[in-house]
Amino acid sequence: MFIDYAEIYVKAGNGGDGAVAFRREKFVPKGGPSGGNGGKGGDVILQVDPNLLTLLDFRYKKKYIAENGKNGLKSLKDGKNGPDLIINLPKGTLIVDENKDVICDLNEEDSRFILAKGGRGGKGNSNFATSTNQTPRFAQKGKTGEEISISLELKLIADVGLVGFPNAGKSTLISKISAAKPKIADYPFTTLKPNLGIVKYREFNSFAIADIPGIIEGAHLGKGLGHEFLKHIERTELLLMMIDSSSENIKKDYEILLKELNNYSSILAKKKKLIGISKTDLISPEELTNLKSKLEHEFDENLILFSAVAGFNIQELLDKLWTNLNYENLSN
């Protein structure tokens, strides 16, 4: 099950209280204050775990509370610090507060962030002795640890994002060029969750490709699958705009897709795009030739016609994706 959103509450540990104690040693009359300090409360730390792919664990557990620091002891012994609470998250998780402000973005393999700091331990009475008050009978209370309610939003990190209307053939394509096995059928909205696949390119190279659920007109307003999945393409380097070759008006379909992306995010408007005309196995060779000639006049050179089912132009498609990713230098 793919879970890409969760809401949780976290609280750091409270600091331990300082101790009120006095020395009671043989042959030491009127022993002075000997109360130790309280220990610091545990922090709540977020870190990336490369083995996690969803936020499924957070569907069932909603509260995460770090341990408190221990109270101070006599004989000037400090209480133990509370251990930090580590929360592991998938790479690509965005942390947002209740005001919808971004707190942090865990988009690197080694990302680590202290979300809530533990309370400071209170000072024992040994810290308050003065020349005028040599036997203080008070100590400091530990500080309360920070607490916060947050939203976790997982955005897939891929090199290429597949964008198109339902049934444009995205799932079929990703199943042919990677090891991913998405559910495929001949009806709209087959894909109900993003699929991430790794494409092996030539001998030693590879790139990640994300199959994004189908967009419908009005998706930027939340219609259909709407915002729930449009967010997953914000981090891709390149968008493959897929349109069914049997469409009555390919250019109009492309403009609708482009409009939805632009309305949703200015980030998407600036993404490099490649136009892929899919399912060419469903039209005759003559129709394919005429379609290619027509589209080359309507679109620029970032256009390719292919069929994932028949394997037509698949290698050429991968070459174009690799070139447009600007990764060609990596293969040298």
The per-residue pLDDT for range 294-313, each reduced to its tens digit, is 998 888 768 999 999 999 99
Question: What residues make up the domain containing 140?
Answer: 1-154
pLDDT at 193 over 70: no
Is the confidence at residue 196, as pLDDT, over 80? no
The beta strands (E) that lie in 230-296 are given as 238-244, 272-278
Higher pLDDT, 25 or 114: 114
Same domain, 181 and 165: yes
State the average pLDDT over residues 178-196: 58
Task: For residue range 216-258, list pLDDT tens digits in order.
Answer: 555 444 544 444 556 667 778 899 999 999 998 999 999 988 8
pLDDT category of residue 93 using cuts at 50, 70 and 90: very high
* Residues 104, 48 share a domain: yes
> 69 or 294: whose pLDDT is higher?
69
Q: Which of 243, 261, 238 is nearest to 158 (CA)?
A: 238
Band (pLDDT 50/70/90 cuts) for residue 29 is: low
Split at pLDDT 50, 70, 90, the class of 214 is low
| The pLDDT of residue 182 is above 80 | no
What pLDDT sits at residue 267? 76
What letter does residue 21 receive in the DSSP assignment? -
Tell me the whole-structure pTM to 2 decimals. Answer: 0.69
Edge to edge, the sheet with strand 160-164 lists: 195-201, 205-211, 160-164, 238-244, 272-278, 303-305
Domain's final residue, options 154, 186, 206:
154
Distance CA(146)–CA(168), nearest Å, equals: 48
Q: Say how many domains are in the chain.
A: 2
233 versus 183: which is more confidently predicted? 233
Segment holding 249, helix H or strand E: none
Q: 190 falls in which pLDDT band (50, 70, 90)? A: very low
Q: Are residues 125 and 250 in the same domain?
A: no
Residues 255 and 130 in one domain: no
Q: Are residues 184 and 263 in the same domain?
A: yes
In order of 57, 138, 152, 292, the CA distances from 88 in angstroms are 10, 41, 12, 49
Mean pLDDT across the chain? 86
Both 172 and 110 in one domain: the answer is no
Tell me, what CATH number does 300's domain have? 3.40.50.300
Res 167: pLDDT: 79
Q: At which residue do the structure tokens 């174009």 appear?
A: 320
Same domain, yes or no: 202 and 322:
yes
pLDDT at 187: 44
Which of 98, 129, 154 is at the close of a domain?
154
Does one domain contain both 168 and 303?
yes
214 compared with 131, residue with greater pLDDT: 131
What's the rounded mean pLDDT across residues 200-220?
73
Report the sign of the C-alpha dihedral through residues 235, 183, 312, 260, in that order: negative
Residues 309 and 173 reside in one and the same domain: yes
Q: What are phi and psi of 10, to 5 degrees?
A: -130, 150
Kindly state whether residues 211 and 118 are assigned to the same domain: no
Average pLDDT for residues 128-132, to the nearest whole number?
92
| Cβ 177 vs Cβ 314: under 8 Å | yes
Both 149 and 261 in a single domain? no
Residues 145, 172, single domain; the answer is no
The DSSP secondary structure of 184-201, one letter per residue, reads --SSTT---S-EEEEEEE
pLDDT of residue 26: 73
Q: Which of 116, 136, 154 is the last residue of a domain?
A: 154
pLDDT for residue 228: 53
Q: CA–CA separation, 274 vs 261, rounded Å?
A: 14
CATH of residue 87: 2.70.210.12
